[in-house]
Amino acid sequence: MSNDVTTTGDLLVSLSPDALDKVLRLRADEDDPETLGLRLEVSGLTAMGTDYTYDMYFEVISDVEDDAIVTDVGGLSVIVATRDAAKVQGAVLDVPSNPMQGGLTLRNPNKPNPFSGGGGGGGTDGTLELTGELAEQIQQLLDQRINPAIAGHGGMASLVAVEGDTAYVRLGGGCQGCGMATVTVSQGIEAAITSALPEITRVIDVTDHASGANPYYEASAK
């Protein structure tokens, strides 16, 4: 094991008894099972960008050469790259609750923010330089970071109003009437706005997804 590998008793990821039993039984079918640990890595994001995707495989512990954290869970070495540690901290590897479903599932309390990086504009590190009044900064964030991210699903978001610490947004295009709209707002748009602008603590979707009308805007226009 290289000097970059850290062995620690502090658990990043735990296993339920059923999951541990299943993994140990699978490992027992491998050659030299006692030399193998379970590698868990974050491989990317789901299509909507609201959850991580993962790869899991057995790896010879003595061959681990990259920057990694190794913990012992019930006699099983669990290997996690340091770059993934914060993304899986506190996760539990378990068997699916549906007995008809095979494999394993990772119950992870950590969620990615699909709008937190990579958008157009801003500095060389991908951060945005927001200027002007609070409403203008929110609109810049929508235009430069959020809308490019949801455009692939035919969606868009626009700012309706700002009242105190609350921003009201309206979804359009493919996001209007979409069953995933609540997830897009709560786990994506709200997280992006409140992270970039601490003055905003709530983001409310005021779109009437059934009719396409915007009740908040109409009421305000009286």
Which CATH number characterizes residue 157's domain?
3.30.300.130
The residues near 151 (Cβ < 8 Å, ≥ 6 apart) are none
- Identify which of 51, 33, 50 has the alpha carbon closest to the alpha carbon of residue 42: 51
- What residue numbers bound the domain in which 212 lies? 134-220
Are 84 and 171 in the same domain? no
Are 9 and 103 in the same domain? yes
Higher pLDDT, 14 or 173: 14
- Mean pLDDT (the chain) is 76
DSSP one-letter code for 191: H
Are 101 and 152 in the same domain? no
CATH number for 34: 2.60.300.12
Q: Which two tokens stand for residue 120?
A: 């157009």
- Identify which of 115, 144, 114 has the alpha carbon closest to the alpha carbon of residue 129: 144
Q: Which two tokens stand for residue 49?
A: 């960008």
Q: Which two tokens stand for residue 197?
A: 């602008």
Write down the pTM of the prediction. Answer: 0.55
The residues near 16 (Cβ < 8 Å, ≥ 6 apart) are 92, 93, 94, 95
Residue type, 160: V
55-108 pLDDT, tens digit per residue, is 999 999 999 877 899 999 999 999 999 999 999 999 999 998 887 778 899 999
Query: Residue 81 domain-assigned?
Result: yes
Domain count across the chain: 2
Percentage of residues in the chain with pLDDT exceeding 90? 40
194-222 pLDDT, tens digit per residue, is 878 889 998 888 875 555 444 444 444 33
Query: Residue 146 domain-assigned?
Result: yes
pLDDT, position 156: 77
Query: Residue 25 domain-assigned?
Result: yes
Q: Which of 107, 122, 142 is the last residue of a domain?
A: 107
Are 54 and 94 in the same domain? yes
HSE on the CB side for 108, CA within 13 Å? 22
Query: Residue 169 domain-assigned?
Result: yes
Query: Residue 161 domain-assigned?
Result: yes
- Calpha distance 9→28 (Å, rounded): 23
Mean pLDDT is highest, among 30-44, 47-61, 147-161, 194-208, for 30-44
Question: Is residue 175 scored above 70 in pLDDT?
Answer: no
Cα distances (angstroms) measured from residue 20 to each of 16, 38, 41, 151: 6, 11, 17, 41
Query: Residue 21 domain-assigned?
Result: yes
Question: Is residue 117 scored above 60 in pLDDT?
Answer: no
Question: Is residue 2 scored above 80 in pLDDT?
Answer: no
Q: Which two tokens stand for residue 96?
A: 């699916």
